[in-house]
Chain A
Amino acid sequence: MSDEDKGGTGAPESPHGRRLDRRDVLLALSTAPALALFGYAWSRQRGYERKLTESVHPARVVPPDLSVINVGLLGVGAQGQVLLDSMLRIPGLRFRAVCDIWKEYNQKRAVNTLRKYKFEVKGYEDHREMLDKEKELDAVVVATPDFWHARHAVDCLEAGKHVYCEKEMSNTIEGARSMVLAARETGRLLQIGHQRRSHPRYLHCHDKLLGEAKLLGRIVTVNGQWNRAVAPDIGFPERYAIPADRLRQYGFKSMEQFRNWRWYKGLGGGPIVDLGSHQIDIYNWFLGAKPSHVMASGGLDYHDPKTHEWYDTVMAVYEYETPAGSARAYYQTQTTNGSQGYFENFMGDEGTLVISESEANYPGFLYRDPNAPAWDEWVRKGYVSAPRVQEARPAGQEMTLDVRESVSPDLHRVPVVLRDPYHQPHLENFFDSIRGTATLHCPAAVGYETAATVLKVNEAVEAKERLSFAPADFEVGA
């Protein structure tokens, strides 16, 4: 450093008044090579990570002649945004329209996001106006509050669009029925957003572990839960509040109700429908049956009844007559304690499967009953991981088991990981089905069966008695 650079703080004392010379420029740019070095290291690291990801999860091959699907979004609140984030990763989609009654916030955000991705999208408040003006739309993705699903889905189907509709299919069985009929009459596709149906881990368990290998033997009991910690009501920026007359026009009494519609009767179905629907759908799917009876206990035990109408705590027991015999399935959801989160636990006479959508918690554990046939064949085929080796305890620390206790079963893992957002495979299945290269994993009729199964729980809570299902409850008829 020159003397000039040795000021009181080490900075040049009097830099003004002197023309910039070559030395100034060189010193000014002297740290820029570090940025170039960073760029080189960064690109090497990115390449390494990409290679690693592709080796575990091969990239989806995009055919060069992939036809483009014109998509409209109907409802772009929190869930709509989740779906949009997934769809932005799917090739072959052209977003044309966004419809949301919260023009000042949700609609604006989604339109801006899509414009950043160079899509020419228009915003709408009224879905009928969108359907009238956007004749080129091939598909509409519906993520509005449950009580709007039937109207929105039916209008879109009748306008000739294929529809992906978030679960719960509808908050009423009549609404769900009208959706099945509309899909049937129009010949358009209607996929219900039970996204676990397309999750590769669930598909692997259903098709390979339960279907082909029958690892669990006969499933006799099932239990599952979605425990969620206490959360404050969802707020909103005051300056973007929707005017009261517009809220009323779309069925909401206030902004608070608009933001927290899931808790209100007539708008949503409460936590059992909101959360339980995903998992009870898996009960039906994995058991290969629909329930014969349900009993349930529930109540608004914790939250403020002024702002919460649905039960915050529900415990339900379903009875099934499966092709293999009787089975009972317990499910609980509560919103006062998030301990152990969410999972489904299928228990057969030869093994147990604990599974969830999450990659962090319960990403597929299998326990082989000590008396069950060996799973070596399935380990060799790669269907399940090798069992975890039990650690030998040091001498003097061995445990004494009571003779009545069962020996611990072997622990295996389901070796399937989803590296994409949870909803992406289900959306891909929808768009592939439109192109004719796949079939829907959760068509309207399946969504209807799940809606009939789940909506009955709230009825059972109210009735305080064991309710039975008739086979006709799961069929739409003509």
Chain B
Amino acid sequence: MSGDGGKLSGAAMASIVVLRVAIGWHFLYEGLVKLTKPGWSAAGYLMQSRGAFSGLFRWLAADASRLARVNSLTMWSLTLVGLGLVLGCFTRFASAAGILLILLFYLCNPPFVGYFYSIPMEGSYLVVNKNLVELTALAVVLTTRSGRVAGLDRIIHRLVGRRSRGE
């Protein structure tokens, strides 16, 4: 941070761009792995849901055609959000969609006191897990418009702005 009135220094903004690309890379890979893995399904993750929303998540997995829609929505959302973040294309929309996705993942399997899951996690968590950390990191990306600094949004924003003024 530059410290002058909340403005970001060049180094701070560059860090946020790197953060955005790293999160995008993660989303993109998660999406593509699911898209290319025959028979991938969110059923296991949904069915072991705990917490206040467990009824909703289990309901999503209970019907085959509903589950199929959830599966394709998950795969494609992850992939497209990942692409958007890596390229800085519609960055704010991609960030918001990413936050919503991770929030759903978090609420489905929240690491609250006394909850345990059959799908093993690679670390130990209490309330805050890597999903929540990634979610808050995306909130930073969402609020700093990094796509207009380094990303396709820089062009999109200017083209749209010029057209709206009839230039």
Task: Show the binding face of A for B, using Cβ within 8 Å.
Answer: 1, 5-12, 15-18, 20, 24-25, 27-32, 34-35, 38, 42, 46, 78, 85, 89, 231-232, 234-235, 237, 421
Contact = CB atoms under 8 A, between A and B. Distances in A.
B146 A38 contact: no
Chain A binding surface, main DSSP class: loop
Contacts of B72: none
A27 B149 contact: yes
B32 A34 contact: no
Given A5-B149, A10-B12, A24 B154 contact: yes
B151 A31 contact: yes
Given A10-B7, A15-B161, A234-B63, 13 more contacts: A1-B149, A5-B13, A6-B13, A7-B7, A9-B145, A25-B155, A27-B154, A28-B151, A30-B17, A34-B86, A35-B87, A38-B86, A85-B39
A16 B8 contact: no
Given A15-B148, A20-B155, A10 B13 contact: yes
B124 to A, nearest CB: 25
A17 B29 CA distance: 38
Contact of B143 (A9, A18, A421): A9
B38 interface: yes
Contact of A10 (B36, B63, B146, B151): B146
A10 B87 contact: no
Chain B binding surface, main DSSP class: helix
Query: What interface size band does chain B fall in?
Result: 35 or more
B25 interface: yes
A402 to B, nearest CB: 34
B160 to A, nearest CB: 9
A66 B149 CA distance: 55
B39 A421 contact: yes
30 contacts: A1-B14, A5-B10, A5-B13, A6-B9, A6-B13, A7-B7, A10-B7, A10-B16, A11-B148, A11-B149, A15-B148, A15-B157, A16-B165, A24-B154, A24-B155, A24-B158, A25-B155, A28-B88, A30-B17, A30-B150, A30-B151, A31-B17, A31-B86, A34-B21, A34-B25, A34-B86, A38-B25, A38-B86, A42-B32, A46-B36
A32 B87 contact: yes
B88 A31 contact: yes
A89 B39 CA distance: 12
Contact of B6 (A8, A12, A15, A46): A8
A313 to B, nearest CB: 21
